[in-house]
Amino acid sequence: MNSAALLSHQVLIETIRSSRSQKKVIELIDAALRSFYTEAPDGSFIFLKSLRSELSTIDPIEVADPEEWNLIQFARIYLHRLMERRPAAL
């Protein structure tokens, strides 16, 4: 994965962590996926997988705010659901 993709992942993860609702998390992920899919349709599954992987590396002990942790977990679940549906859509 190139450095621009890693940077966009980090920005997206920080934005997810600072959002305050599941609806906002869905909007953020969907917008990022639409943007990524437009640029590299074949890489959208890789994008989803790597973003979910990065979210999975976050240590819950280091997350002070319980709501923030809930949103991180929600994002991981949402990404997993998208990954399950994505291969059929390609």
Render each residue's pLDDT in the chain as its tens digit; 90 residues. 544 455 578 899 999 999 989 999 999 999 888 877 777 667 778 888 889 999 999 999 999 999 999 999 999 999 999 988 765 444
Q: What is the DSSP string of 37-64?
A: HHH-GGGHHHHHHHHHHHHHT--GGG--
DSSP state of 19: -
Whose tokens are 């705010």? That residue is: 65
What pLDDT shows up at residue 83? 87
Q: State residue 48's pLDDT score.
A: 86
Give the integer Cα–Cα distance in Å for 63 and 82. Answer: 25
Instruction: Say whether 63 sits in a helix, a strand or coil.
Output: coil
Note the pLDDT of residue 9: 81
